[in-house]
Amino acid sequence: MLNSFRIVSFIEGLSYLVLLFVAMPIKYIGENPYPVKVVGMTHGVLFIVFAIALFFAMNKLRWEKGFSFKLFIYSLIPFGAFVIEKEVKERN
pTM for the full predicted model: 0.92
Render pLDDT for 35-87 as a digit per residue (tens, 0 to 9).
999 999 999 999 999 999 999 999 999 999 999 999 999 999 999 999 999 99
Max distance between CA atoms of the chain, in angstroms, equals 47
> Of 33, 7, 35, 30, nearest to 19 (Cα)?
35
Render pLDDT for 5-31 as a digit per residue (tens, 0 to 9).
999 999 999 999 999 999 999 999 999
**Cα distance between residue 32 and residue 38, in whole Å:** 12
50 neighbors 10 (Cβ within 8 angstroms): no
pLDDT at 91: 86
**Cα distance between residue 29 and residue 12, in whole Å:** 24
